[in-house]
């Protein structure tokens, strides 16, 4: 982590615009505070890309764009890398952020930063319109920096996912784990699923009822996971009808990650303020 941070700091001296990629479902929880410090030290403008917007609640995303629109030095855009029109917005916005770098003699130099598994490499491939970066549904697929020429006058530097040393708020850690930005070897899947279940019961109960075909009004987080286990036939071997909570937890987590529960967001500007205040 320290080595990656040092390399990013050195490379920023040769960069015009920082593209910070975050998960649109949890924009602040997936924002690395070190990215802000690094780009501020070099006084680089930031294009904040709320990626995976096709999985996020549209109303929450609109609220986040409005919130980021009031921050100095940040331009925010919501995209899905599956949509070429969304991806095309990114280069246009970057050119506006660095108008002095707009011809082949002064090529526009970009750097993509963000935590693991928010879609940085997928975005690189979409911008390049070819596969130039390895992608996968696991954190830390990108291992080292690589430069990609997007055009004669634009290059972008891809970087490994950059985490910070200590996650200050437990809720952030659970949101990151639920969204698979933190590897399974570092978390307890059942605890993460309980957090996710509680959040979804508060904000999207109708999605859960529709997905799993169970009444959810009287359920708590553990009760929901038990209900998922029964509906999906997840029982412990040799234990009769005792539900396999760990298996059910993974079913819930995977359904969220795949978008099977519909477009849901784990935080909004309002919920973020409430969490910080508490």
Same domain membership, residue 76 and residue 147? yes
Q: What is the mean pLDDT of residues 15-36?
A: 94
CA 138, CA 270: separation in Å to the nearest integer?
A: 30
CA 179, CA 166: separation in Å to the nearest integer?
A: 18
CA 235, CA 77: separation in Å to the nearest integer?
A: 44
Q: What is the mean pLDDT of residues 155-173?
A: 88
Q: Which one is predicted more confidently, 101 or 246?
A: 246
User: What CATH number is given to the structural domain containing 195?
Assistant: 1.10.1580.10
Lowest-confidence pick of 15-19, 137-141, 181-185: 137-141
User: What CATH number is given to the structural domain containing 17?
Assistant: 3.40.50.300
Give a yes or no: residue 167 inside a domain. Answer: no
Q: What is the mean pLDDT of residues 67-89?
A: 93
Q: Which one is predicted more confidently, 163 or 272?
A: 272
Give a yes or no: residue 166 inside a domain. Answer: no
pLDDT, tens digit (0-9, with 9 covering 90-100), for 40-75 = 888 889 999 999 999 999 999 999 999 999 898 899
Lowest-confidence pick of 12-21, 24-33, 160-169, 268-277: 160-169
pLDDT, tens digit (0-9, with 9 covering 90-100), for 185-219 = 778 999 999 999 999 999 999 999 999 999 999 99
Among 113, 141, 158, identify where a domain stops: 158
- pLDDT at position 101, please? 80
pTM score of the predicted model? 0.90
Same domain membership, residue 127 and residue 16? yes
Q: Among 217, 199, 114, which Cα is nearest to 164's? A: 114
- pLDDT at position 9, please? 79
Give a yes or no: residue 97 inside a domain. Answer: yes
Q: Which one is predicted more confidently, 80 or 146?
A: 80
- pLDDT at position 140, please? 46
Q: Is the pLDDT of residue 242 over 60?
A: yes
User: 3-class SS at 26?
Assistant: coil
pLDDT, tens digit (0-9, with 9 covering 90-100), for 222-237 = 999 999 999 999 999 9
Same domain membership, residue 15 and residue 126? yes
Same domain membership, residue 123 and residue 234? no
CA 209, CA 124: separation in Å to the nearest integer?
A: 37
Same domain membership, residue 246 and residue 136? no
Give a yes or no: residue 137 inside a domain. Answer: yes
- pLDDT at position 1, please? 64
Q: How many residues are present in the chain?
A: 278
Give a yes or no: residue 145 inside a domain. Answer: yes
Lowest-confidence pick of 9-13, 105-109, 168-172, 202-206: 9-13
Q: Among 130, 125, 123, which Cα is nearest to 49's? A: 123
Same domain membership, residue 223 and residue 135? no
pLDDT, tens digit (0-9, with 9 covering 90-100), for 112-151 = 999 988 999 899 999 988 888 665 554 444 557 888 888 8
Among 138, 158, 178, identify where a domain stops: 158
Same domain membership, residue 228 and residue 130? no
Same domain membership, residue 135 and residue 13? yes
Q: Is the pLDDT of residue 273 over 60?
A: yes
Same domain membership, residue 65 and residue 115? yes
Burial per residue of 177-192, b for 16 or more beta-carbon CB atoms within 10 angstroms, e otherwise: bbbbbbeeeebebbeb
Give a yes or no: residue 183 inside a domain. Answer: no
Same domain membership, residue 203 and residue 113? no
Pairing of strands 154-158, 146-151: antiparallel
Percent of the chain with pLDDT over 90: 65
Same domain membership, residue 257 and residue 141? no
- pLDDT at position 194, please? 98
CA 32, CA 20: separation in Å to the nearest integer?
A: 9
Same domain membership, residue 260 and residue 125? no
Sheet holding 74-78, edge to edge: 74-78, 46-51, 17-23, 108-113, 154-158, 146-151
Give a yes or no: residue 171 inside a domain. Answer: no
* Range(s) of the domain holding residue 256: 188-277
Give a yes or no: residue 209 inside a domain. Answer: yes
Q: Among 122, 119, 108, which Cα is nearest to 56's? A: 119
- pLDDT at position 143, please? 56
Give the model's confidence band at 184: pLDDT under 50 very low, under 70 low, under 90 confident, else very high. Answer: confident
- pLDDT at position 2, please? 66
The tally of domains found in the chain comes to 2
């Amino acid at each position: 982590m320290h080595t990656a941070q040092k390399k990013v700091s050195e490379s920023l001296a040769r960069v015009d615009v920082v593209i910070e990629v975050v998960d649109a479902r949890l924009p602040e929880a997936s924002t690395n505070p070190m990215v802000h410090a690094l780009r501020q030290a070099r006084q680089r403008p930031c294009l904040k890309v709320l990626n995976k917007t096709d999985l996020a609640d549209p109303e929450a995303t609109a609220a986040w764009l409005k919130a980021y629109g009031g921050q100095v030095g940040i331009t925010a855009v919501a995209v899905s890398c599956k949509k070429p029109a969304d991806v095309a917005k990114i280069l246009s916005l970057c050119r506006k952020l660095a108008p002095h770098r707009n011809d082949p003699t002064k090529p526009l130099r970009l750097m993509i930063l963000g935590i693991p598994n928010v879609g940085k490499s997928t975005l690189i491939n979409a911008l390049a319109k070819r596969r130039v970066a390895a992608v996968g549904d696991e954190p830390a697929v990108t291992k080292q920096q690589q430069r990609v020429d997007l055009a004669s006058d634009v290059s972008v530097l891809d970087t490994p996912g950059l985490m910070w040393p200590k996650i200050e708020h437990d809720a952030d850690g659970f949101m990151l784990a639920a969204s698979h930005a933190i590897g399974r070897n570092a978390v307890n899947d059942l605890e993460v699923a309980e957090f996710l279940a509680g959040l979804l019961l508060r904000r999207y109960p109708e999605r859960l009822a529709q997905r799993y075909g169970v009444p959810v009004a009287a359920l708590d987080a553990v009760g929901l996971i038990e209900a998922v286990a029964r509906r999906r036939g997840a029982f412990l071997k040799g234990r009769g009808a005792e539900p396999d909570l760990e298996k059910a937890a993974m079913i819930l987590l995977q359904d969220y990650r795949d978008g099977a529960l519909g477009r849901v967001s784990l935080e909004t500007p309002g919920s973020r303020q409430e969490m910080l205040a508490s």
